[in-house]
Structures are given as structure tokens and as C-alpha cells.
Structure 1
Amino acid sequence: MINMPADDTGPNPLESGRDVLDLLLSPPAHLDPYPLYAWLRTHAPVHPSAYGAHLISRYADVEHVLKHPELFPGVPEDALARMFPLAVGHEAYEVLVTSLVGSNPPKHTRLRGLIGRDFTTRRVGSLRAGIEDLAGRLVTEAAERLRAGENVDLHAAVSVPMPLHVISDLLGVPHADRSRLAVLVPAMMNVVDPAATPEAVAAADAAFRELGTYMSQLVADRRRTPRDDLVSALVSVHDDDSDRLSDDELRTLLFTLWSAGFETTATGIDNALLALIDRPELGHWLEGTERQAAAFAEETLRYDPSVQVAPGIRFAAEPVVLSGVKVPAGAQVRLMLGAAGRDEAAFPEPDRFLPGRAGAAPLSFGAGIHYCLGAGLSRLEMTALLPRLHRELPGLALAGPPGRRRSIPLRDFSSLTVTLTDEIRRR
């Protein structure tokens, strides 16, 4: 990886006439966006993209936007057609801007309170035993194959199944349907991309339609026969006249929970595995306490966050100055979380992977009222899985370059194939 220092005075990557978002989808930035992020933080921390949004790349500015929803609200529903006309013609955009992460108080406060009743620390904590059991089974199966001489795609064998089965168990999605629904998420996530092509938006619309049909059937089933799962709990909230979810709100909440429930965590696991393979000397962080394992996971989330561009679409409610640049009222802002995580003003030596670092908190899960509800669950899954992987597979090596999907908002994987070193296999 080539790291560009913060005081870089090298050539302007925008002199080519190409937009930043186009550059992020092209070599070399599509595999390593961090040098381009460093240039942006230094020379264009508030960059007006040709695609209609101001790209915010410094940690302090990103945090300011996240923590001041009154200055940077989502799209008001009564102004949807005027401020974001794409949402009128495309279901994928409509879901994005009316979801929990895109909504404003008081609606946001009400929705978060309703779902928070059943997405509590207690409920997440009750999943711990099942998560640890699942982690043990997945790692054992992968270890057996590796010790038998196979190369194993850990993305498919471990990283995706772990959070996929956890969120499915939580929601109540049957085993037979999980893989089919899982493949819809990358297409759905593309709608977060500020430079999404018409083809990508059409694919996102199709994915949302397919998932919407499925979720409607699941809701109808749970209404007839409630179970001990989150869909049943949300249906009961929907049907309670004293404080209810509308049909659209229930549907959008289920979209959000499914799309955010496993792909980002799977990417976090993949990134942690890459960090461990590249830096085996840091393995001791996964040999001690749960707090040490959590520190390793937290540094992964800062160093190479799964979500590079925050999903919420926000607009400046009034003229606002960020890093000396005036953002006009009504301008759309998009938050570059990947760039903020490497800001040297918040993280000394930002391009070094240093678990346990003190100072600013990563913004990988957002901040303020839009802090991710699933952050605790994601951290629990990573800290349950990573020490087991390190303990049972201490000699992992890449069997080939990781497969990365070409996407701006989510730096996710298509494959992460590994092998065991000869010395470990002989044990």
C-alpha cells in the first residue's frame, strides 16, 4: 500500500478532469482509496463533486455533520420530490431517504424508540452463547478443510455466514431463504453510491422489490403465527393502536435491518483477517482478554471501515462553513467515513494499524442520533470470531489476491482465499 502523507504537494489528481468519485472506481484507488483521501483532506476537504454532492473528508467536519442533525437534516418527506427527485421514480432511493438513517426528528426519535424496545443490550447479550457456538463451528469446519490441504475462501466459509445467520436468527428468516436473500444486499447498497449508474440503480430497485415481496410474506406469516423473533415484535408494534408503525415504516425498517445486518460486519471480519495476515506480530491482541480483542476489532473499523461513505443523504439547512469552505443552503453533503478514519488530526500515525490507540473514536458506526443500532451486535460477532480464528489458524497466508467488489460506499469482498503455511499444516 502506498500512503500519501498529509502535507502532500504532489500532482493534483483532479487535473485529469475526472471527478473524485470516478477516480475512486478506477485503478489504483478502487483497491486503495487512502492516498486519494489524503489528498482530499489536505487540498479539498469539502469537495463539490460533479455528481451533485459536497464530499466531506476531515474527521472534525464529518463528526460535526453527524452530531448536528438540525444543521444537516435528511430530506423532509414533504419536500422529497423537490429536493431529491430520484426518490420519486426509484424505490431504492425512496427507501434510502425515508429509512431510519435518513429520517429526521421527531419521526426518527419515534422509530428509533420503537425498534429500540427489542434491539436492546439485553437482547443482543442474550445472543452471545449462540454467536460463540456458531463461531466455533464455522472456524472448526474451515480449519479441517485447510489442514486437509484445501485452499479456503474465508469470505464465503466464515465471514459472511457468521453475521448472516446471526441477523437471520434475530429477525426470524428461515435457513432455506438466507442465501437467496443475502445476494440482494450488494445491489441494494449500490444506491448509497453518489455516482451510481442508471444500471446500478435499476439493479437496486429490482433487489428492493424482491426483498419487499419476501418481507411482506414474512410479516403476514408472523401476524398469523407470532414467534420469538424481531419481525414478530415489530409486527406487534405495528398492530398496537397506541403507538404504531405504518405499513411503509415497517417495511422500510425490515429493509434497513436486513441490508445493514450482515454485509458490513462480514467486510469488517475480512478486513480484520487481512490485518492479521499482514501483521502476524499483532496476534497477541487476540490471545488475551475480550477487551484486547475488541481493541483489535475497533482498529480494523478505523483503519479500513466497511462503509466508506455514510448511507444517510443530508442537506445543509442553512449556509455552513466547514474547513473554511462555505456549503450553501440546500446543498447535499456526503460523509467520507474512510477518509475521516485516516485523518492525522484525529489519529496520530493514521496509516499504521495500532490496536488500543487512545484518542478520538472511529466514526465507522456514525455518531449522534444516527449512531448504528447494530454496532454492539457487530462488535460482539467480531470479538467472538477473531480470537478463535487466530487460535485455530495461526499460520494463515493468502492463496491469491483478495477479490474486491468495485464499489464506493462499501469496500466489500467477493473472496478471501487463504491457505496454511506448511509448518502449521504439519502440526
Structure 2
Amino acid sequence: MTMTNPVTYPFSEPERLDPEPLFDRLRAEHPLIRVRLPYGEPAWMATRYEDVKTVLGDPRFSRAASAGRDEPRLRPHLNPPGSILSLDPPDHTRLRRLVMKAFTVRRVEQLRPRAQEIADRLVDEMIATGPPADLVDLFALPLPITVICELLGVPFEDRVDFRVWSDAFLSTTKYTPDEVRDHTDRMMAYMAGLIAQRRETPTDDLIGALVVARDEEDRLSEDELVSLAMGLLIAGHETTASQIPNFVYVLLDHPEELAKLRADPALLPQAVEELMRFVPLGVGGGIPRYATEDVELGGVLVRAGEAVLPALTSANRDESVYPDADHLDLTRAGTGHVGFGHGPHHCLGAPLARMELQVALGTLLRRLPGLRAADAPIDWKRGVSTRGPARFPLTWD
């Protein structure tokens, strides 16, 4: 293996929630390596924690510079026009400020009682039906979907449609390129319809506030408005809906750590942070940044115009930052993880995701004594860029 000749990435087929085994060697020997993803041009991949944080936070690495480039990616399609994910400050800052008030820690804590109410209702329904119960369909999906629908003002009864649209948007091989385009067009039309309704009948939900920002304050374009609403809906449920069953799976696989959490529910916030570090959610190497000037990174000179992929899952297992990094330790303290990213594009919804994950795990462990995997196979996601069970049968005492 060399650092300069592109290596095919992903290096291996993702297996459940196992980390990519090659990352350990790369961090030690080749912290920056040339890779080629299924689509787009070759790129460097950063694997060490400090290098990943540099790529995510240093203004010499740009998202906006991807415009007009065939950026490296797992999916055949690029982000839609006006996407906040494709912008740098100050444009990125302008859009982020429009919605950040809805996702502050204080605002999210005001949503906690409602999230708890939803979680308890879902568990009530699981208990009434009896085990085995599919954690994904009956709990992990409806909890964050209900919360984000109420926050945005999206009809919950349309969840089946936008669940398909979300899968298509994140598809690597699950859908054909034509199907991805069709579902993306449908989702954009759906969002445009909701926006038109808000113009006809103003509301005080988040989409209503964005329409006011567009029409009365001229703070974003129509493409930005549609794209931002789409992104909030997808990101607002997809990660949490995947991580709830992921976290349960990992805890059941680490009974000593699970026992700690059962014995001390106050450990939940810290446990969620450690699980965010430990669980490799994404299949790909992160969203690429382009160097705007020559930058030395990981002992390699990255030339201006070259793309760099920040490998978040590798950074979160960097032994120089996390002693015994491959060991799950719910009492681990110290350096923060990059599970929610870093820098200007640090996940806007991180406070919401943290709260939902705390509520979800706390409710499951409190309400379902003896929670464990049922004697039935777990179906794992295939062909999308996020890992996790598609079906996870559970039972309890």
C-alpha cells in the first residue's frame, strides 16, 4: 500500500457495527491516504483525530469549493442546489442562524417532556402487543419522526412517504440513480407544497418561520428554503432513528456496561457521549472538504484544489486520544468525540439528538426489565450510507 496511489474505498464491506479494521494501521502508518470512492474524483482521507478536526474546522478546507467539482462520494447523486451542507461562512452562517434557535440546549430541554410522553406511549403500545417487538418500527423510528414533524410542522401521517424519500437520499446501492432522482423530486415537490400552504395560511412552526424569513426578510433564496426544510426533516430523524437500535445492540453486546447504566441512570448523558464515539454510524469517509491553498496535514502536503475526506469513525477510535479506544467505557471522561462533527458544520441538531437518545435509552431500560434480543434474526441495513438494524426483534421479562 502507498499513500499516493488511490485505494478503493470502502476498504471492506461494513459488517454490522464493527469498525473498519484497516483504520488502526492507517492511523499508525499512513494517517493520510489517497482513496477513490465509487463516485467522483480521488481524494485524501484523514484518519487521525487531530487531522480530522483540522479538516472540519480550518477555513483552509472548504465545502463551497466543491461547487462544479465531481466530489468523492458513495452515492451517485450530489446534494441539491442551495444545500447548507455545500456552503462556507458567511453563507453557511446566514442559513444556520435562521434555525439554530430551535435547536439550542434550552429550547431542546423544553421539548424533553413531550419526547418522554411519546416514548412512554410507544412503550405502552409495545407492552400491550407483547414481545417479540421490532424496536425499529415500533420505537426507534416513530420517536424522532414525531418530534421533528411537530417541530417543523410536517404532517406525521406522511411519514411513510418521507421515510422512503430519506432512504433514497441516503442510498448508495439500494435505489437506482433514476429512482433516487424520482424520490428526491417527489420530496422537493412535497416540501414546496408545505411552503405554499404556509404562504396561504401562516403558522408558528419552524417551516412557517423559514417562509417568513424568505418572503418578508429576504434572508434566503427559494432553493435554499426548500433544501433547508428537506435537510432538517431527513437529518432530524435519520441519525437518531439509526442510533437508538445501534446503542441498544451495543449495550446488549456489553452486559457489564449495560449493568452500570441500569444501576445508575444518572450515567445516561455520559453514556450517550461514549456510545456516539464508539458506534461507527456512517459507511463513508465523511463529507469532503477542498484545500484552498497548500496545507501540510498528517505529514503530507495537500495541494490547493485537492479533496480531503475526514474519517470520523477512525478519529473516534484514535488511541492517542482515547486510551483503549476499542473498549466501550460508559464512565469514560475527557476529550470530546467527533460523532456530531466539528467546526462550522458541527451538527445543528446535536442537542436534540442527545436529548432523544437519553430519553429513548432511559425509557427502554426503565420500562422493559430484562430487555434483550429475541430469538429471531436482526436484519441490517444494506445499500444506504448509514449503518444499523432495519429490523431488531426484542423481548423482555
Q: Would you say same fold, with TM above 0.5?
A: yes
Cα 1:43–1:199, aligned 2, differ >3 Å: closer, same or farther?
Answer: farther
Per the alignment, in what secondary structure is the counterpart of residue 410 of structure 1? coil
Cα 1:247–1:18, aligned 2, differ >3 Å: closer, same or farther?
Answer: closer
Deviations 1:20-67 (A, max 9, x none): 42433x3x6576333132233233321211332222211111111111
Cα 1:197–1:408, aligned 2, differ >3 Å: closer, same or farther?
Answer: closer
Determine what percentage of the aligned residue pairs are the same residue.
36
Contact 1:86/1:93 (8 A) holds in 2: no
Cα 1:210–1:20, aligned 2, differ >3 Å: closer, same or farther?
Answer: same
Task: Specify the code of the residue in structure 1 equivalent to 2:248.
Answer: L
Deviations 1:199-226 (A, max 9, x none): 6544332222111010000000111112
Q: What stretches of structure 1 of length at least 5 have no aligned partner?
A: 1-11, 191-195
Match of 1:55 in 2: 45
Task: Specify the code of the residue in structure 1 equivalent to 2:201.
Answer: T
Per the alignment, in what secondary structure is the counterpart of residue 203 of structure 2? coil
Contact 1:163/1:265 (8 A) holds in 2: yes
- Tell me the CA shift for residue 166 of structure 1: 0.8
Out of 356, 372, 380, the residue aligned to residue 397 of structure 1 is 372
Aligned length: 387
Per the alignment, in what secondary structure is the counterpart of residue 414 of structure 1? strand
Per the alignment, in what secondary structure is the counterpart of residue 356 of structure 1? coil
Q: What stretches of structure 2 of length at least 5 have no aligned partner?
A: none
Task: Specify the code of the residue in structure 2 equivalent to 1:93.
Answer: L
Task: Specify the code of the residue in structure 2 equivalent to 1:293.
Answer: L
Match of 1:75 in 2: 64
Match of 2:166 in 1: 185
Match of 1:228 in 2: 204
Question: Where in structure 2 are the equivalents of 1:123-202 lying within 5 Å?
Answer: 123-146=107-130, 150-190=131-171, 196=172, 200-202=176-178
Out of 50, 58, 78, the residue aligned to residue 93 of structure 1 is 78
Task: Specify the code of the residue in structure 2 equivalent to 1:391.
Answer: R
Counterpart-to-counterpart distance in 1, 2:180 and 2:286: 14
Q: TM-score, normalised by structure 1?
A: 0.83
Stretches (4+) displaced over 6 A:
none
Deviations 1:58-102 (A, max 9, x none): 11111111111x2111134xx722x23899xx8x4142x742232
Counterpart-to-counterpart distance in 2, 1:269 and 1:140: 18
Counterpart-to-counterpart distance in 2, 1:266 and 1:198: 18
Per the alignment, in what secondary structure is the counterpart of residue 262 of structure 1? helix
Counterpart-to-counterpart distance in 2, 1:339 and 1:181: 31
Question: Where in structure 2 are the equivalents of 1:199-210 lying within 5 Å?
Answer: 200-210=176-186
Counterpart-to-counterpart distance in 2, 1:155 and 1:329: 44
**Residue 319 of structure 1 pairs with residue 294 of structure 2:** yes
Deviations 1:93-129 (A, max 9, x none): 142x742232111101111112224443343222111
Contact 2:145/2:156 (8 A) holds in 1: no
After superposition, the CA RMSD in angstroms is 2.6
Match of 2:317 in 1: 342
- Tell me the CA shift for residue 312 of structure 1: 3.2
Counterpart-to-counterpart distance in 2, 1:204 and 1:328: 33
Per the alignment, in what secondary structure is the counterpart of residue 358 of structure 2? helix
Counterpart-to-counterpart distance in 2, 1:48 and 1:19: 6
Counterpart-to-counterpart distance in 2, 1:370 and 1:304: 20
Contact 1:320/1:326 (8 A) holds in 2: yes
Task: Specify the code of the residue in structure 2 equivalent to 1:47.
Answer: I
